[in-house]
Amino acid sequence: MTLLSNSLKAMLVHLPATEHEGVSARFHQQAPVLLDHLQRLYGHHAHFPTWFTALTVALAKALQTRPQALRQLDRQRSADKDWFCSERMLGYCTYVDRFAGDLRGVAEKIPHLEEMGVHYLHLLPFLRARIGENDGGFAVSSFKDIEPRFGTMTDLRELTDRLRQSGISLCSDFILNHVADDHPWALAAKAGDETYRDYFYSYPDRILPDQFEQSLGQIFPQAAPGNFTFVDVLQRWVWTTFYPYQWDLNYSNPAVFSEMATALLHLANQGIEVFRLDSTAFLWKREGSNCMNQPEAHVILQALRCLIEIAAPGVLLKAEAIVPTAQLPAYLGSGTTNRDDNSTVPVKECHLAYHSSLMAAAWVALAEQDAGIIGHVMRGTPPLPEQASWLTYVRCHDDIGWNVLRQEAALGGDDGDGGEQRLSRVAQFFAGQEDSYARGASFQAADPAAVHGTVGMSAALCGFSSAKTEAQTELARHRMLLLYGLALTFGGLPVIYMGDELAQGNDETYRLDPAKVNDSRWLQRPDFDLDAFALRHDAGTLPGQMFSSLCRMLTCRRTHPQLAATGKRHWIFSPHAELLIFARGDIEQANVLYFVGNFSEHPVALDLRILGKSLPLQPGWMDILSGQTFLPEAGPAPLLPACSQLWLIPYFQGVLS
Ligand code: OTU
């Protein structure tokens, strides 16, 4: 206890008396858990007490320098902890340069974001990145500087202020698993500084790397095979899970934790309100394992959460863990932990986590014309813990990783191979093989039959690029809207990927760039199409039709509280495997909302009697997207056209519910 009370004293010395009460309250709530977690990771180090006290002083300095406007936001959000679970929350993800050139250009695009009702903007990495190849900014050279071509730290602060005036929270990648090989820590290591060499994992020979490799996966098996890179100047093998120039940080070294925690708090004070914690699954290495989802990785994330709760409680942490459904909930926090007064509190980890299984399952359902696998994922998704939400999405800057669905694919598959052939067929379908409408490409699959990933913009994967007739284009648009309909109604924070609102296609130019040609993810990283943007209100054009249809769905979402992340969700059995049916809200109440999606390419009859079974009387139904009503006495079940969807609410003749 003295360590904690001494640490609090050391903190308060740096803070104005007006902050003491609030900080002390947050410290008393979080510090015991923080200390417990850090002792589990680093308590065996002799200098732990000194190290811990120094960390809390860094915490105090972060508190001391946190701008007043952000402290105000902290207070507001401490009183409304579910703020990001609202049905009004909508995200948009894009690259700074591709969307607007630089940070100042992003501010000029705010009206476009406001028109869609965006309240969360994920700008892909904009910190100073490695000179040369840098994995699209995911090889960070400095956590203190902005990529010069995007602007300055002042530009960032001005942008976050401007976004906040429009009710938009900036989300930034915080790439905490690795740094670039030209980061000062890596340069110091290469210069012979053993303190910094120990910020990384490195080995004098292949003995341990070869032992680790036996149980490790491959992220870039084609472009960067293996997980270790020989660095001549070190004469050692460095752990590089991703590209050879991305050196994994060694979190068994407490110095790494405190450096990264300090960097996170500094960036929070620049006005970043959400941190996308990149590659969180890989943070802890354990021989004989795949070094993913290790318990210590969760302890690290929970400790970062404690620090944020003390120093910047208005900030959200989002786990980027592309892992099987069963391993996702842990990233939001599971179980309870004891406080020093023996009370138990729920473990808090990240506020948000990508529901990558739901995203991948939606694409599988489209390829198979069967919604079964989405049902498996939905039923395998436990209720959200308090103050937590899923990030739901259709596409992002990365590949669609099919292997997250191995468990679900094995359930419905009939190949007896754990779903591998089933997922391989889907990957090949979207890579445009056989008679598929999709125009995607394989990602890092040396063997076309192997299951790895698929790349391509939503529009290309949904058939816009291959469409030869008006009907085929219309069907492609309905496929894409169906996938966004699921993301918007499932219950989470849905994120639009830049260009999808205009049905923007692939960017094939990466094949001409030697620095990109080996990473097909660049296929889905086009510049924002300003010509299409100019047509967004022209209903006679494809961008116009896409934009108006999507905006209709966005309006319906934000005006129906049943669709908030905190709302209940009930999967409903459908006799037609093509149909996905689930209810949002209370199925016994008249404000229940049903999503019905036809994932097939042919019309399917919807027996309305499946819906509303728990309602006191069988209502009629109204589709809030089209306004169309379906009355029980109107006769046979309505036919759902191919790839169409209905968002149904009870409709009592003459009385709108
Ligand atoms: C993440 O990668 C980023 O989203 C990628 O853009 C980066 O290349 C990578 O980290 C390294 O920073 O799940 O948890 O399948 O989509 O590795 C790591 C390749 C991730 C990436 C995947 C992803």
**Residues whose CB is less than 8 angstroms from the CB of residue 119 and which lie 6 or more positions away in sequence, other chains included:** 88, 89, 90, 91, 167, 168, 169
Q: Residue 165 falls within a domain, yes or no?
A: yes
In angstroms, what CA-CA distances link 413 with 71, 301, 448? 52, 35, 19
Beta bridge partners of 224: none
Instruction: Please indicate, yes or no, whether residues 518 and 602 belong to a single structural domain of this protein.
Output: no
Instruction: Please indicate, yes or no, whether residues 553 and 598 belong to a single structural domain of this protein.
Output: no
Which whole number is the average pLDDT over 6-26?
A: 89
- The pLDDT of residue 657: 45
SS (H, E, C) 81-124: CCHHHCCCCCEEEECHHHHHCCHHHHHHCHHHHHHHCCCEEEEC
CB of 320 closer than 6 A to ligand 1?
Answer: yes
For 27-44, letters b (16+ CB in 10 Å) and e give: bbebbbbbbbbbeebbee
CA-CA distance, 63 to 57, in Å (whole number)? 10
Q: Residue 196 falls within a domain, yes or no?
A: no
Q: Which residue puts its alpha carbon closest to atom 19 of ligand 1? A: 219
Closest CA to 553 of 620, 468, 483: 483
Q: Which residue puts its alpha carbon closest to atom 7 of ligand 1? A: 138
**Residues whose CB is less than 8 angstroms from the CB of residue 514 and which lie 6 or more positions away in sequence, other chains included:** none
- The pLDDT of residue 157: 98
Q: Which residue puts its alpha carbon closest to atom 8 of ligand 1? A: 135
Phi, psi of 176 (to 5 degrees): -100, -5
Q: Residue 458 falls within a domain, yes or no?
A: yes
Which whole number is the average pLDDT over 278-299?
A: 96
Helix, strand, coil fractions of the chain, as percent rounded to 5: 40, 15, 40
CB of 283 closer than 6 A to ligand 1?
Answer: no
Does residue 272 carry a pLDDT above 80? Answer: yes
CB of 401 closer than 6 A to ligand 1?
Answer: yes
Distance from the alpha carbon of residue 585 to the mean position of ligand 1, in angstroms: 34
Which of 567, 593, 617 is a domain's end point? 567
pLDDT tens digits for range 30-89: 999 999 999 999 999 999 999 999 999 899 999 999 999 999 999 999 999 999 999 999
- Give the catalytic positions in this structure: 278, 320
Does residue 274 carry a pLDDT above 60? Answer: yes
Tokens found for residue 584:
């949002």
CA-CA distance, 536 to 111, in Å (whole number)? 13
Q: Residue 340 falls within a domain, yes or no?
A: no
pLDDT tens digits for range 546-580: 999 999 999 999 999 999 999 999 999 999 999 99
Helices (H), 13-88: 17-42, 48-64, 68-78
CA-CA distance, 472 to 514, in Å (whole number)? 35
- The pLDDT of residue 654: 60
Q: Which of 122, 176, 278 to mutate for ligand 1's pocket (most ligand atoms within 8 Å of CB)? A: 278
Distance from the alpha carbon of residue 471 to the mean position of ligand 1, in angstroms: 36
Does residue 292 carry a pLDDT above 70? Answer: yes
Q: Which of 94, 218, 322 to mutate for ligand 1's pocket (most ligand atoms within 8 Å of CB)? A: 322
Instruction: Please indicate, yes or no, whether residues 577 and 562 belong to a single structural domain of this protein.
Output: no
Q: Residue 234 falls within a domain, yes or no?
A: no
Tokens found for residue 613:
């079974």
> CA angle, 638 as apex, 635 and 640 as ends, to 5°?
175
Task: State which ligand 1 atom lies nearest to the alpha carbon of 453.
Answer: 15
How many Å from the N-terminal Cα to the C-terminal Cα in the chain? 57
pTM of the model: 0.96
CA-CA distance, 349 to 388, in Å (whole number)? 9
Q: Which residue puts its alpha carbon closest to atom 13 of ligand 1? A: 322
Instruction: Please indicate, yes or no, whether residues 385 and 314 belong to a single structural domain of this protein.
Output: no
Task: State which ligand 1 atom lies nearest to the alpha carbon of 138.
Answer: 12
Phi, psi of 649 (to 5 degrees): -125, 150
Instruction: Please indicate, yes or no, whether residues 412 and 444 belong to a single structural domain of this protein.
Output: yes
- The pLDDT of residue 339: 64
Q: Please count the structural domains in the chain.
A: 3
pLDDT tens digits for range 122-146: 999 999 999 999 999 999 999 999 9
- The pLDDT of residue 244: 98
**Residues whose CB is less than 8 angstroms from the CB of residue 454 and which lie 6 or more positions away in sequence, other chains included:** 363, 399, 400, 402, 427, 430, 431, 440, 441, 442, 443, 461
pLDDT tens digits for range 408-439: 999 876 677 778 999 999 999 999 887 899 99
Q: Which residue puts its alpha carbon closest to atom 2 of ligand 1? A: 279
Closest CA to 462 of 522, 524, 407: 524
Q: Residue 160 falls within a domain, yes or no?
A: yes
Question: Which CATH number fits the domain that encloses residue 394?
Answer: 3.20.20.80
Contact between 309 and 30 (Cβ < 8 Å): yes
Residue located via tokens 């732990």: 48
Enclosing domain of residue 512: 355-567
Distance from the alpha carbon of residue 390 to the mean position of ligand 1, in angstroms: 18
Contact between 476 and 500 (Cβ < 8 Å): no
CB of 103 closer than 6 A to ligand 1?
Answer: no
CA-CA distance, 413 to 246, in Å (whole number)? 37
Under the banding of pLDDT at 50, 70 and 90, the label for residue 19 is confident
Residue located via tokens 């966005």: 554
Instruction: Please indicate, yes or no, whether residues 107 and 45 belong to a single structural domain of this protein.
Output: yes
- The pLDDT of residue 449: 64
Q: Residue 304 falls within a domain, yes or no?
A: yes
Instruction: Please indicate, yes or no, whether residues 598 and 515 belong to a single structural domain of this protein.
Output: no
Instruction: Please indicate, yes or no, whether residues 436 and 316 belong to a single structural domain of this protein.
Output: no
CA-CA distance, 161 to 155, in Å (whole number)? 10
Q: Residue 216 falls within a domain, yes or no?
A: no
Instruction: Please indicate, yes or no, whether residues 416 and 451 belong to a single structural domain of this protein.
Output: yes
Which of 567, 600, 618 is a domain's end point? 567
- The pLDDT of residue 410: 92
